[in-house]
Structure 1
Amino acid sequence: MPETKRSRPAPPPGLLVVDKAPEMTSHDVVARVRKIMGTRKVGHAGTLDPMATGVLVLGIERATKLLGHLALDRKTYLATFALGAATTTDDVEGERVSTADPAALAEVTDEAIAAGIAALTGEIEQVPSSVSAVKISGKRAYARVRSGEEVVLKPRPVTVYRFDLLATRREGGTIELDAIVECSSGTYVRALARDLGGFLGVGGHLAALRRTTVGPFTLAAARTLEQLEADPVLTHDLDTAVAAAFPRYEVDARAAKSVQYGQQIRASGIKGTYGVFSPDGHAIALAVDAGGVSRSVVVLDPA
């Protein structure tokens, strides 16, 4: 009888922290990782634009259930803002729609830049870029723009926890600013560049962007796709991923079985989403306290 080809066993569930290269979409990274890890069950938390590099967190197998919750966490970026020109996409890849007069640019003082940064720090109302992934009546804003529609998005609340200026360069008819931005999920750093340029009256766009953290996951743990191909192992297994990203609620064997059956148990007293761990140290669910009980939002290890 002819020998049958064995299918590749599914990888264990967990997270990969990838250092995304430029000119790749987040979907491109997912497609590569599917081939590397030998599974279709791969997703990512928090899209990175093609021009951006840095931390992209991917879930493998059952760990994809974590991603919607990880995406709600805060993120940190190293960004370069170019003042003196506005673009259609609010970043360097768009077409210029305005260029500041050199005299106006020369009048932009360090004090004015500091005031603009201060105005964009804290809890602010931000209008996303018209080419963002925000949905309008079920269709992405960027898709509407590409089809020729005029898109006007409503402002929404975001939080910029940290906006620290690292360096200022004045050359070639532009002012370039290097900065660290720590912000809530849903904040568009290129919109910060646009709004800073607008505040200063000279226009602005994002010249470069590198994400350094997503919640507790940092560049220190990140690997390139080439490194992952050479050594296709998880950055965090499911248990360590949940322990790193969420507060820990340890339960006894009886309560663990109830959780695995989707039943409610005694409240934890923990605010927000937390990980539920069985006596043997395994993450079995993500849960929240509601109405005096612990209610599972994701069961990771069903009975």
Structure 2
Amino acid sequence: MAQHWIATRPGDLDVLALEDHDVPPPGHGEVTIAVRAAGMNPADAKHVAAGKPQDFPRPVGYEVAGVISAIGPDTMIASGPVSVGDEVLAFRISGGWASEVTVPAKDVLAKPASLSWGEAANLLLAGCTASEMLHITGVGEGDTILVHGASGAVGVSVLQQAALRGATVIGTASEGSFETVRRFGGQPVAYGDGLEQRVRDLAPDGVAAALDCVGTDEAVDVSLALVADRGRIVTIAAADRAGRDGITAIAGSMPASSAYRDSVRADLVALAADGRLIVPVARTFPLADAVEASRLLMKGHPGGKFALVPR
């Protein structure tokens, strides 16, 4: 029998429960994946906390990597034909914190052999979010951009994808994370009092766009002060400020965001396969330790992605 984590009701991590369950067999357009690693993201816990009571109980986890264990009739995955035993990754799914999961085949792609299970399981949520931020703000060759929270999972992906577009990135971080920003091609700057002037000193010709991965008032205020075109300021964490200040907020739950992120999954997998998009994994945890892992993740500064590994 398989195991999966569910959220029994809206709330903090105490509402999560690990349950035995029977995995439904795949129907037409579905496959079953024996999970080798489940990705962990702050969104996992945030969406449980902000959910509506009628949506519970609900499974937890949006991305996995594993091995195909069953295939529905006349079914191919997003990357093409598939066989039992093939290594795959999947995003955006429901119930990834599991030992086995049946999911829509359209959300499954072949896993590059060059990626570890933990890397593959953590590639696409952060990577697709970063890609959309760069797309929304039209970042291109020669731009200098400001990324708030550049050492986090989305920020690290932004740094790499922006460099591939020919942009220069100034990234806010704590001094302890400066080396991470430098490793992935950015120029670090400390957040806190005086941030606006420090960025102006680093970018005397101005900042073309600002990408906010943290949602603080400081991040939004400094972005507004530095970027002339509010259409080139995007946030994934300050929706309230977006509504008030005329900047763009994006989220995977928005239809336009969802469609865009689905459209770039294969491209991001290809970049990772070629070694041009790296997913730093800090730690792996047994599936049973998901709550402990989540508490550490939510404290911030994990130094890379976390993955859950079933026995």
Q: Give the TM-score category using the shorter length.
A: under 0.3
TM-score by length of 2: 0.24
User: Larger Cα Rg: Structure 1 or Structure 2?
Assistant: 1
Larger helix share, 1 or 2: 2
The TM-score normalised by the length of structure 1 is 0.25
**Relative contact order (C-alpha < 8 Å, sep 6+): which is higher?**
1
